[in-house]
Amino acid sequence: MKTLSVYRIKPNPAGKDKARYGSPSAAQLGGEWVDVQNSGKSAVNTTGVGLWHLAYPASGGKSEYRLVCNLPDCTLKAGEVLRVHAGQRRDLSVLNAEDRSGADWHSFTGEDAYVWNNREGDAPALYEPAAKATIDSASYDPYPPEGVVLHRQGAKLVPTPVTAGMYR
C-alpha cells in the first residue's frame, strides 16, 4: 500500500473568485495547488496514481469524482511533499514565493483552468486505478477563505493560521 496522503491545499488563491473575465495569470493559476505527502517511513513511487476531485454538474445533480491529472513519475522519500499546481507546466520563477515554498517537488495539472471547487467544497483524492484502490482523500467545506492554505486535520482540510516555521 502506498503511503501517500493529501496533506494541504490552497483552493482559492487571491483574486480567483473576482476575475470573471479574461484569463488568469500564470502566477494566479499556479497559486491554486494541493500537496501530496509521503506519510510513510520508506520511499514511495507515484507512478500510476491519479489526483481526483469532486465535479458538480452545472445543471445540479449528484457530484462525481473526475481525474484532475496523473501524478508525475517521481519517488518521494519519507516526509517529502509533491505540490500539484493548476495550469500548464511553467518555470517556477513565475509563481509567487509562497506558492513555491514548502514542497520538495512541483508538478502541474496541464490545463490552464482552476480545479478545486469553492462554492460546493471539494474532496481531493489519490486513486490508483491498477489496484482499484483509493489511497487517500480529504475534504474541505464550501467557500474557503481567499488566499488561505488549508491543512489536514483528520479527514478534513481546514484553515490554520500560518506561523513562522510552518513550512519545511
Residue ranges per structural domain of the chain? 4-159
User: What pLDDT was estimated at residue 60?
Assistant: 80
Percentage above 90 pLDDT, the chain: 80
Mean pLDDT of the chain: 91
Say which residue, 57 or 3, is predicted with more confidence: 3
Q: For residue 163, which phi and psi values (nearest 5 degrees)?
A: -125, 160
C-alpha atoms less than 13 angstroms from C-alpha of 155 in its C-beta half-sphere = 5
The tens digit of pLDDT for each residue in 108-153 reads: 999 999 999 999 999 999 999 999 999 999 999 999 999 999 999 9
What global pTM score does this model have?
0.91
The tens digit of pLDDT for each residue in 21-36 reads: 667 888 889 999 999 9
pLDDT at 19 over 60: no
pLDDT at 1 over 70: yes
Sheet containing 156-159, strands listed edge to edge, beginning at the edge strand earlier in sequence: 105-108, 81-85, 33-38, 4-10, 150-153, 156-159
What CATH code would you report for 4-159? 2.60.40.1260
